[in-house]
Amino acid sequence: MLRLRVQLTLVLIAALVWQSEAWWSRRSTRRTSTSVCPNPPTGFGAMQTGCGWPYEEGETCEFVCRDGYRRTSGDTSRNCNGGTWTGETLVCEYTGCGRLPYSPGAWRTGCYWPYTDGENCTFYCGEGYIEVSGNYTVTCQDGTWSGTPLTCEYTGCEVPEEPSSGVRRKDCWWPFANGENCTYFCVRGHSEVSGDSTVTCRDGAWSGTPLTCEYTGCERPPLTSGSWSPVCWWPYENGKECTYTCRDGHSPVSGNSTITCVDGAWSGIPLECIRTAPGCNPPPVGRRYGTWGPRRCRSPYEEGETCTLSCLRGYQQESGDTSTTCTGGQWTGEPLVCTRRGRQTTDG
Ligand SMILES: *[C@@H]1O[C@H](CO)[C@@H](O)[C@H](O)[C@H]1NC(C)=O
Ligand SMILES: *[C@@H]1O[C@H](CO)[C@@H](O)[C@H](O)[C@H]1NC(C)=O
Ligand SMILES: *[C@@H]1O[C@H](CO)[C@@H](O)[C@H](O)[C@H]1NC(C)=O
Ligand SMILES: *[C@@H]1O[C@H](CO)[C@@H](O)[C@H](O)[C@H]1NC(C)=O
């Protein structure tokens, strides 16, 4: 069943390829053998209808002026005659109104290029802007605008300065209109030092100064080897607890299984554990980047267990062993050392 379907698909693809090739060659033969006239020139504001490439002997093209344009000279109908077009190129002139100047903050509705006679453009000032001069509506009359477009002026505030470290800004976006508030807050682990949590745009200037915050949490707790804490990471804000457990085969010797960050200092020292069960600590991973291991073995590392190590892609073995066995509480062999391929070692 599947085989039949695959065969049908192949037949279909072959048919499509054959068809498109046939179409392409038909098209190109027609192109080379029967296009008698070149593309007729189409003047600015003019449009060609009723004909197309390739142009055959006797073929007629019609030309018209687009909306907003008027014929000044040339022909609206031309014939392909012995390799050239009869008549003259249609020339059209723009009779509509000119493009309107861009004015920041001024929005326009109801009119689109080309602007034809009687067309109205209506303006308004966007948020944060007020009217300065000009007309709210201008009308296109005999190729000229009846008035001057509205101009607007930004009366809002500048973009507030970037919040300092540990601070975030929210709830405000450009344009910052009068009366708009920006609020600031301290990120986790940080406390307010000075400034205002809300600043308001008044008469084009910000009232108040943005908040500044400082880190009041704890330093990173000291690293441990025989114990670990699953969820103990930055920021260590006040009240944060880090709970330690001994690794497999290890027993506690000193320290506290839970330490808490209080006023920027840890309440105790992290739990230290040493190996008490037979077996090994995690195998040495080597001294250089590019060493990836242990593979195919994990804690608890029992007596007799073998771990294989390998170099990362792009690295090659320089020295050491790719296999090590837990023997009498120690790993056999030398730690694997990998170096980047095609590079010399700089230190030993
Ligand atoms: C333009 O505005 C005038 C006056 O309000 C109105 O009479 C005319 O119909 C408008 N033109 C168009 C094209 O809407
Ligand atoms: C355009 O504005 C000017 C001055 O602001 C005013 O004198 C004129 O009458 C306005 N024109 C129209 C068509 O509203
Ligand atoms: C800005 O904050 C003030 C005081 O809290 C409030 O009265 C005002 O409505 C706020 N403005 C906006 C645009 O939310
Ligand atoms: C932390 O451990 C030490 C000794 O291991 C102990 O004296 C101290 O009370 C412990 N602190 C807390 C907060 O448990």
pLDDT tens figures, 236-284: 999 999 999 998 889 999 999 999 999 999 999 999 999 888 888 888 7
Q: Which residue has the tokens 């006679």?
A: 117
Q: For residue 86, is it within any domain? A: yes
In a shared domain, residues 73 and 114:
no
Q: For residue 171, is it within any domain? A: yes
**Range from 16-25, 137-146, 261-270, 277-286 carrying the lowest mean pLDDT:** 16-25
The percent of residues above 70 in pLDDT, for the chain, comes to 85
Taking 60 as the threshold, does the pLDDT of residue 30 lie above it? no
Going by CA atoms, what residue is nearest to atom 12 of ligand 1? 119
Phi, psi of 199 (to 5 degrees): -120, 145
The pTM assigned to this predicted structure is 0.57
Q: For residue 66, is it within any domain? A: yes
**Considering every ligand atom, which ligand is closest to the CA of 270?**
4
Report how many domains make up the chain.
5
pLDDT at position 315? 85
Taking 80 as the threshold, does the pLDDT of residue 290 lie above it? no
In a shared domain, residues 299 and 326:
yes
Going by CA atoms, what residue is nearest to atom 11 of ligand 4? 268
Q: How far apart are CA 305 and CA 28, in angstroms?
A: 73
Q: For residue 331, is it within any domain? A: yes
Calculate the average pLDDT of the chain: 86
**Range from 6-10, 55-59, 261-265, 284-288 carrying the lowest mean pLDDT:** 6-10
- Long-range Cβ pairs for the range 308-315 (8 Å, 24+): 309/283, 309/285, 309/336, 310/336, 311/336, 311/338, 312/338, 314/290, 314/340, 314/341, 315/289, 315/290, 315/291, 315/339, 315/340, 315/341
Looking up residue 192, the CATH number of its domain turns out to be 2.10.70
pLDDT at position 161? 86
pLDDT at position 307? 87
Q: For residue 256, is it within any domain? A: yes
Residue 146 Cβ < 6 Å to ligand 2: yes
In a shared domain, residues 295 and 330:
yes
Output the six-digit token pair for 236: 């260590």
pLDDT at position 308? 86
Taking 70 as the threshold, does the pLDDT of residue 187 lie above it? yes
Residues with CB under 6 A from ligand 3: 179-181, 200
Q: How far is the CA of 98 from the centre of ligand 1 (A)?
A: 18
- Among 227, 256, 258, which residue has the most ligand 4 atoms within 8 Å of its CB, making it the best to mutate? 256
User: Are the CB atoms for 213 and 196 separated by under 8 Å?
Assistant: no
Q: For residue 231, is it within any domain? A: yes
Q: For residue 33, is it within any domain? A: no
**Range from 9-23, 193-207, 310-324 carrying the lowest mean pLDDT:** 9-23
- Among 135, 141, 145, 151, which residue has the most ligand 2 atoms within 8 Å of its CB, making it the best to mutate? 135
Q: For residue 8, is it within any domain? A: no
**Considering every ligand atom, which ligand is closest to the CA of 139?**
1
Atom of ligand 2 nearest to the CA of 138: 13
Q: How far apart are CA 335 and CA 317, in angstroms?
A: 11
In a shared domain, residues 301 and 331:
yes
User: Are the CB atoms for 172 and 197 separated by under 8 Å?
Assistant: no
pLDDT at position 5? 60
208: domain range? 167-215
Residue 139 Cβ < 6 Å to ligand 1: yes
In a shared domain, residues 172 and 204:
yes
Q: How far is the CA of 138 from the centre of ligand 1 (A)?
A: 10
Looking up residue 82, the CATH number of its domain turns out to be 2.10.70.10
- Closest by CA to 335, choosing from 285, 271, 279, is 285
- Closest by CA to 211, choosing from 159, 169, 264, is 169
Taking 60 as the threshold, does the pLDDT of residue 22 lie above it? no
Q: What is the mean predicted confidence (pLDDT) over 212-231?
A: 92
**Considering every ligand atom, which ligand is closest to the CA of 176?**
3
Taking 80 as the threshold, does the pLDDT of residue 109 lie above it? yes
**Considering every ligand atom, which ligand is closest to the CA of 173?**
3
Atom of ligand 4 nearest to the CA of 254: 5
